[in-house]
Amino acid sequence: MLLLLLLASVALIIFLTAKWKVHPFLALLCASLCYALGSGMPLGAILTSIETGFGGTLGKIGLVILLGVIIGAFLEHTGAAYKMANAVLRLIGPKKVHAAMALIGYVVSIPVFADSGFIILDPLNKSLTKRAKLSLAGTAVALMLGLMITHVMVPPTPGPIAAAGILEANIGLVMGLGLGIGSVGLLVGIAFAKHVAGSTYIDPRPNVDDEEIAQKMAQAPSTFVSFLPIVVPIVLIVLKSVVNFVWRDIPEKNTLHVLIDFLGAPVIALIIGTLFAFLLPKKFDRAMLSESGWAGKALLSASSILLITGAGGIFGAILQNSAIGDVLANSLQGSTLGIALPFLIAAALKTAQGSSTVALITAASIMAPMVGPMGLESDMDRALMVVAIGAGGLVISHANDSAFWVLTQMTGMDVKTGYRLYTTGALLVGVCCALLVFLLSWLL
């Protein structure tokens, strides 16, 4: 019954947004309430889910989105984004933008959450895509797939490192397998993004022509300064992850550790990135920060993204509190599917409640007492289980996943297209990675 309600809710979201052109925020809110009432949730639980889902999601990513769009506005208006794009295009060539963005995302998301990574890299991606005369649909999907692969498969990202800890898997082995299997998934994702998603055209800069780009390039800062608002936050977030991983067994943090922990928090890192963005104009004017200036217009454009992302959080919280994840996991728990079981449990949990990190941790907790009875006790078996769970964390990204809304809203992609391109691409990559895990399990 809950599964049928989930499918009906997703269909309702697609119908309202694609057919009736209802704003995604209202469509998500409507679908969330219909699912909650249909599942028999207590009224108090519905209210709590709405409040915690909206507030919790925006609490984690709201400021990151706002700071990211301010950085993006300064990169665009000063011409710095195009300066970065030219530098990257000289290195990789105009025909390899999909591969470049997927690879950048693949590396960046090892320490950085996928949503944050996409927001940070979005200005660079749009500029590269515009300069290479490509569709934003293809390059954006390539970037998000690259970000998500390592987000779910490679420690020290919280999801896979927590799953490895719960299953007592060797961290080094999980990292090696995750990078190797993930690289195959990356190739699949690049091919899908280039040849399938790229065939749907979305203009990366619909209001900017070549003449305006040339004018901005003439006034742009140096290439080194142009990269600072993006590179500095990434370096700080990476440094925090590395330090926390290396010093994970030290009970008390020293002053340096506390400072790195503070500076590497995504919000603080992006505040620092925003300060570097203010250095981009040749002559800084306070009007740029006014309500009608670059910052004001950027914040206004972000309001819709915030609303939709928050509504996606409501949908995810209601699904999670309806116990649909437990129902799906319990229905699979008694089966004898071997190494396929952790993948299916994680995929069911991801589909049901939206968060890859929650899906990974919950699936690992379900599998932990089953390791012995299933005969999966070797270091290799445990590591493969973690990667299989990670592959399940890619399947299926839809309306209850904040990454889905960040991608669609920041690219101008409608919901129907988002399902057709990103959801399908993530499903394909996740299944391919899982098949490779099954093959290695059989061979080893």
Tell me the average confidence (pLDDT) per consecutive run of 10 residues in the chain, 444 residues long. 83 80 86 92 94 86 83 84 79 85 85 79 87 93 95 82 84 88 96 95 76 76 89 85 78 86 89 93 91 90 79 82 72 68 88 82 78 81 94 90 90 92 96 96 86
Q: Is the peptide bond before 396 cis (omega within 30 degrees of 0)?
A: yes
Identify whether the C-beta of residue 41 lies closer than 8 Å to the C-beta of residue 429.
no
Would you give the DSSP letter of residue 421? Answer: I
Place of tokens 């920060």: 289
- Residue 42 backbone dihedrals phi, psi, to 5 degrees: -60, 150
Amino acid, single-letter form, for residue 168 = E
Residue 172 lies in a domain: yes
| Distances in whole angstroms, Cα of residue 207 to Cα of each of 130, 211, 213, 226 | 11, 12, 11, 22
Q: Is 252 exposed, middle or buried (0-12, 13-18, 19+ CB in 10 A)?
A: exposed
Would you give the DSSP letter of residue 20? Answer: S
- Number of domains the chain is built from: 1
Q: Write down the pLDDT at residue 3.
A: 78
CA distance 149 to 182: 6
Q: Cβ neighbours of residue 302 under 8 Å, at least 6 residues apart?
A: 65, 66, 69
Residue 283 lies in a domain: yes
Q: Write down the pLDDT at residue 328.
A: 63
Residue 392 lies in a domain: no
Indicate the pTM of the whole model. 0.77
Q: How far apart are the first and last CA of the chain?
A: 40
Place of tokens 């692969």: 149
Residue 272 lies in a domain: yes
CA distance 279 to 272: 11
Which of 407, 403, 385 has its CA nearest to residue 394?
403
CA distance 318 to 310: 13
Identify whether the C-beta of residue 97 lies closer than 8 Å to the C-beta of residue 193.
no
Residue 44 lies in a domain: yes
Q: Cβ neighbours of residue 380 under 8 Å, at least 6 residues apart?
A: 173, 444
- DSSP letters spanning 254-301: -HHHHHHHHHTSHHHHHHHHHHHHTT-SSS--GGGGSTTSHHHHHHHH
Residue 441 lies in a domain: no
The two structure tokens encoding residue 187: 């190739």
* CB burial string 304-314: b at 16+ within 10 A, e below: ebbbbbbbbbb
CA distance 335 to 276: 54
CA distance 351 to 407: 17
Q: Write down the pLDDT at residue 183.
A: 94
**251: helix, strand or coil:** coil
For residue 247, how many C-alpha atoms fall within 13 Å in the half-sphere facing its CB? 16
Residue 337 lies in a domain: no
What is the domain range of residue 279? 2-320
The two structure tokens encoding residue 362: 């919950």
Radius of gyration of the chain, Cα coordinates, nearest whole angstrom:
22
Residue 299 lies in a domain: yes
CA distance 356 to 152: 7
138: left (phi over 0), alpha (psi -120 to 50) or beta: alpha
The two structure tokens encoding residue 414: 């409608």
